[in-house]
Structure 1
Amino acid sequence: MENQDAIARLRQALAEYAEGERENTILDAREEEAKAPVRERALKLLNQRARSREELRTRLRDLDFPTGVIEEVLDDLEGVGLINDRHFAEQWVRQRHERRGKSARMLDRELIAKGVASDIREDALSQITREDEESIAWAILEKKARRITSIPRDSAEYDKHLRRLLGMLARRGFPQGMSMALAHRCLDERLEELRQSTGGEDGEG
């Protein structure tokens, strides 16, 4: 009698397990159906360029996908390494500093706008040294200064050239003190080149 009861309980347990498996299969299919279009859109966005989790979340919400499904898809993508805010921030800083001439301050603002956490931003920005900032700023100034083709007639014209050089660095977020020192030096070097090439002594610097 006891064995029969045990067998009956086992059969009941197996029947309940089988029913649960069928229900889970149905639920999994429904879940996949809901996630598929969200995942497809997220992958298209990632195919264009790397993005932060918050950036993807915002874009997907703008498309009116359900918030819960968005988070599940983002978790899945993060789990397989397709979303990685730390890697994203490091690449963003490196590329935009070297290729676009952006300062650390400007890049920090950009990462904030993309929802990157403060500790990740700090680590990514630590790639940029003071020497890196000065080197990039100097390259920007030299390119701009080459457009100056004549020696200023007076201090007002000199100051106009100086303001334009400073404006180039200000728009990229470089520190004011560093910018002023570099802009003065770059302008003076450019004017000296012009004096040597023309033999002219006119103008003020």
Structure 2
Amino acid sequence: MKTVAVRRVGGFALMAVAVFALVCGAAQWLRGDLDWVRVPLSFYLIGPGAVWVRAAYVLLALALAMLGWGWYRALAPAARRATPAALFVLAGVALCVTAFATTNTYAHPATLHGLVHGIAAQTTFLCVTVAMLLLAGRLFHDARWRRHAGVASTWAVVCFVGLWVQALWRSAPRGLSQKLLIVLILGWLAWMAWLLWRKADEEVASAD
């Protein structure tokens, strides 16, 4: 029963990541009024089609929380730590706040809800990347998943470094640099969700 639940979580998370990527990717083409290289993804939460982008954010937020729980359950008891799962949940909550607190734009003065949006967005990025690092590290402590730990850890490190490059390299195109980082993070999440969906029963069987 545990394996079935974990596989379902992996399948749902994989679907959610795919929907988020498709919706936000389509928005880059459909919103001709926005320069996708210059503006961050938050700008697509305002204006035509924003409801679909918000829905994709909420779906991804739920997937983050479920992925944290799924991996907590998939790991051997000795390898489990609550911190990665808690950080994924916190990232999901922050992502929901990001979706519904309207961002500041270049054409209008700064607002309180814009400040809340910015803090929530950065909290999401930081919590997700730290959770990725911690979860990847836990794979080394479970013989069933250890062969995936190297890729998971390296990928997570690249995302974590990318977060700080994106934050500190102020002259880089804000939209392009942020979206490249999002693609890297989504790729890691999709791969880890796929492992749960396709490999959970195989890994459990190999340990018996």
- Normalized against structure 2, the TM-score is what? 0.26
Q: Which has the larger radius of gyration?
A: 1
Larger RCO of the pair (alpha carbons < 8 Å, separation 6+): 2
